[in-house]
């Protein structure tokens, strides 16, 4: 019966599968124009980010059969500039009742795995296999591997999977990298309900030895997911610190899913936090940046680069987009800087974004016809104003405001009037980030891409990432200030070109 159903549905599935011949384009009202989203269907976390032979690979949690979570597989797209993406066929499909959950990809340069052919490096994916419970067995999550000898175009799952099985219902999201300290592969993987990250090592990616654990620490209100362990230069010098980043769902700073990070040292065995376990640092203060991953195998001179999933588990299945659901943040450069509060993670959009700029304009207090794809940077001396900022995507009572509240000492993005907010009670929100102003001046870099607003404040010291669904005519930009007189605002504005139109 099952087989029959499958045969009957197959032609339909083939029609719906993403591919070069699909007639669905990338020009829908709420389709981001320079952020990645799959042509059709559902995505959540980015997976397996890796740079290899000139290509940036973005794998991602993907449902090949629909626009809500299910049948989790790894979708795949490649780019040469992190902005123009080509979607390729599904890399790792759900198979034999095992879904492919989040994980990472490494480049095996010296064939430690024995999977690489012809004396050349190969790609090895490490992911969580999820087997749903049956009448007699509970859900099972294990770590598994697959390899590719053709630049990620085709993959073979290892015949002796799983490579790591603790017989647990929650044990997931392996982030693997080559540790120069340990001269081994290292894996950070989550025990979500224990609020622990386990660290393993391996010589061949097949046999894993437990080294240490980290946690609980920081925020523990929800499950810990999507760990990331990576090294970042400090203050632009050769000196570095290690970041252990952990997704939290629910209970994050803006409600629902969000991410925290710990700053410390990693000696190849153990991560030690430089701060007391009571310190909680958030990577982003918006509602829509989750499970960010950094690229493996970047050239040594590159800063770490990260991409996150731009949604929130509170309402991810209800966002009003079609025929896709889910998208990625802009790729961001990461750095660490010493601030009066201590060492902090800074994020900036990748440099390549400037290649999408159209004519440069001076920012004015009121601008019309901004369109829905633009970037602007502004200097806003608060003066005596108690509250001041920008309304973007504005028209007739619709707007998203990005401003500073002096009394609370917070930067905020308020999307309660941003357009369609009614699809979930958790969507309308004012998200806030504590920010001490430098010289009473608010410095913002704001990027709007049809259904999203990304705010980088003070050279990236704080970010706020939020989805918004504004109506077509909402394309004004307006400065506002209340209870006092602000100084003269200045800044630059650019419309940004679509990356889909130029490549498809």
Please identify every residue annotated as catalytic. 45
- Lay out the site mask for ligand FRU across 133-172 (x = CB under 6 A, - = otherwise): ---------------------------------------x
Q: How many CB atoms lie within 10 A of CB 182?
A: 17
Q: Which of residues 439-498 bind ligand FRU (CB under 6 A)?
A: none
Beta carbon of residue 313, minimum distance to ligand FRU (angstroms, whole number): 7
If one asks whether residue 72 binds ligand FRU (CB under 6 A), the answer comes out as yes
Tell me the two tokens of residue 41: 């269907």
Among 45, 284, 414, 454, binds ligand FRU (CB under 6 A): 45
If one asks whether residue 73 binds ligand FRU (CB under 6 A), the answer comes out as no
Q: How many CA atoms lie within 13 A of 130 on its CB side?
A: 20
Instruction: Quote the CA–CA distance of 87 and 125 in Å, as a whole number.
Output: 18
Query: Is there a contact between 201 and 211 (Cβ–Cβ < 8 Å)?
Result: yes
If one asks whether residue 327 binds ligand FRU (CB under 6 A), the answer comes out as no
Smaller CB separation from ligand FRU, 116 or 291: 291
If one asks whether residue 259 binds ligand FRU (CB under 6 A), the answer comes out as no
Smaller CB separation from ligand FRU, 173 or 288: 173
Beta carbon of residue 36, minimum distance to ligand FRU (angstroms, whole number): 16
Tell me the two tokens of residue 255: 């409600």
Quote the strand ranges of 13-121, DSSP E: 41-52, 55-63, 73-79, 85-92, 98-108
Instruction: Quote the CA–CA distance of 359 and 353 in Å, as a whole number.
Output: 14
If one asks whether residue 260 binds ligand FRU (CB under 6 A), the answer comes out as no
Among 67, 87, 108, 173, binds ligand FRU (CB under 6 A): 173
**Total residues belonging to the chain:** 504
Instruction: Quote the CA–CA distance of 228 and 277 in Å, as a whole number.
Output: 18
Beta carbon of residue 138, minimum distance to ligand FRU (angstroms, whole number): 17
Instruction: Quote the CA–CA distance of 485 and 482 in Å, as a whole number.
Output: 8
Question: How far is residue 407 from each of residues 404, 453, 463, measured CA to CA in Å?
Answer: 9, 24, 20
Number of residues that bind ligand FRU (CB under 6 A): 12
Smaller CB separation from ligand FRU, 102 or 297: 102
Smaller CB separation from ligand FRU, 60 or 266: 60
If one asks whether residue 61 binds ligand FRU (CB under 6 A), the answer comes out as yes
Among 37, 44, 373, 452, binds ligand FRU (CB under 6 A): 44
Smaller CB separation from ligand FRU, 44 or 321: 44
Angle CA 409–414–420, to nearest 5? 175
If one asks whether residue 116 binds ligand FRU (CB under 6 A), the answer comes out as no
Smaller CB separation from ligand FRU, 73 or 373: 73
Smaller CB separation from ligand FRU, 45 or 288: 45
Q: How many CB atoms lie within 10 A of CB 157?
A: 19
Instruction: Quote the CA–CA distance of 305 and 46 in Å, as a whole number.
Output: 13
If one asks whether residue 291 binds ligand FRU (CB under 6 A), the answer comes out as yes
Among 59, 85, 101, 147, binds ligand FRU (CB under 6 A): 101
If one asks whether residue 311 binds ligand FRU (CB under 6 A), the answer comes out as no
Parallel, antiparallel or unpaired: strands 324-325 and 41-52: parallel
Among 78, 90, 226, 433, binds ligand FRU (CB under 6 A): 226
Beta carbon of residue 130, minimum distance to ligand FRU (angstroms, whole number): 7
If one asks whether residue 128 binds ligand FRU (CB under 6 A), the answer comes out as yes
Smaller CB separation from ligand FRU, 226 or 402: 226
Q: How many CA atoms lie within 13 A of 226 on its CB side?
A: 27
Residue with tokens 């633009």: 374
Q: Is 73 exposed, middle or buried (0-12, 13-18, 19+ CB in 10 A)?
A: buried
Instruction: Quote the CA–CA distance of 18 and 74 in Å, as a whole number.
Output: 13
The sheet with strand 441-449 has its strands ordered as: 357-362, 490-496, 373-381, 441-449, 452-457, 462-467
Among 37, 73, 102, 431, binds ligand FRU (CB under 6 A): 102
- Residues contributing to the site for ligand FRU (CB under 6 A): 44-45, 61, 72, 101-102, 128, 172-173, 225-226, 291
């Amino acid at each position: 019966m099952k087989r029959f159903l499958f045969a009957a549905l197959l032609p339909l599935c083939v029609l719906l599968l993403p591919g070069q011949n699909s007639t669905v384009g990338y020009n829908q009202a709420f389709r981001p124009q320079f952020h990645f989203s799959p042509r059709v269907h559902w995505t959540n976390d980015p997976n397996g980010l890796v740079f290899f032979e000139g290509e940036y690979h973005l794998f991602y949690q993907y449902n090949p059969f629909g626009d809500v979570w299910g049948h989790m597989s790894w979708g795949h797209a490649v780019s040469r500039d992190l902005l123009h993406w080509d979607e390729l066929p599904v890399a790792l499909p759900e198979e034999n009742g095992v879904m492919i959950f989040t994980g990472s990809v490494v480049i095996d340069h010296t064939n430690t795995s024995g999977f690489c052919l012809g004396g050349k490096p190969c790609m090895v994916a490490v992911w969580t296999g999820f087997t749903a419970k049956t009448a007699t067995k509970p859900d099972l999550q294990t770590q598994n591997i697959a390899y590719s000898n053709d630049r990620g175009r085709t993959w073979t799952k290892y015949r002796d999977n799983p490579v790591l099985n603790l017989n647990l219902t929650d044990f997931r999201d392996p982030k693997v990298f080559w540790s120069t300290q340990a001269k081994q592969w290292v894996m950070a993987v989550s025990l979500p309900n224990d609020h622990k990250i386990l660290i393993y090592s391996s010589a061949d990616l097949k046999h894993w030895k437990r080294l240490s654990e980290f946690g609980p620490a920081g925020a523990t209100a929800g499950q810990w997911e999507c760990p990331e362990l990576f090294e970042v230069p400090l203050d632009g010098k050769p000196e570095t610190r290690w970041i252990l980043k952990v997704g939290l769902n629910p209970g994050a700073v803006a409600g629902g899913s969000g991410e925290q990070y710990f700053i410390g040292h990693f000696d190849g065995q153990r991560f030690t936090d430089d701060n007391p376990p009571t310190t909680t640092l958030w990577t982003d203060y918006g509602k829509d940046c989750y499970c960010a991953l950094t690229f493996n195998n970047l050239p040594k001179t590159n800063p770490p680069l990260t991409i996150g999933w731009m949604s929130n588990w509170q309402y991810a299945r209800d966002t009003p987009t079609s025929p896709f659901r889910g998208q990625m943040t802009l790729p961001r450069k990461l750095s660490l800087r010493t601030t009066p509060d201590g060492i902090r993670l800074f994020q900036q959009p990748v440099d390549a974004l400037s290649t999408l700029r159209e004519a440069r304009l001076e920012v004015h207090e009121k601008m019309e016809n901004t369109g829905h794809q633009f970037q602007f940077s502004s200097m806003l001396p608060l003066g005596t104003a108690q509250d001041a900022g920008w309304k973007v995507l504005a028209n007739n009572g619709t707007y998203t405001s990005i401003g500073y509240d002096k009394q609370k000492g917070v930067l905020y993005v308020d999307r309660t009037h941003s357009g369609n907010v009614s699809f979930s009670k958790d969507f309308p929100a004012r998200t806030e980030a504590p920010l001490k102003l430098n010289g009473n001046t608010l410095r913002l870099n704001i990027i709007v891409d049809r259904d999203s607003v990304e705010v980088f404040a003070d050279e990236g010291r704080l970010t706020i990432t939020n989805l918004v669904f504004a109506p077509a005519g909402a394309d004004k930009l307006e400065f506002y200030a209340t209870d006092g007189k602000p100084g003269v605002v200045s800044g630059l504005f650019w419309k940004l070109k679509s990356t889909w139109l130029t490549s498809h």
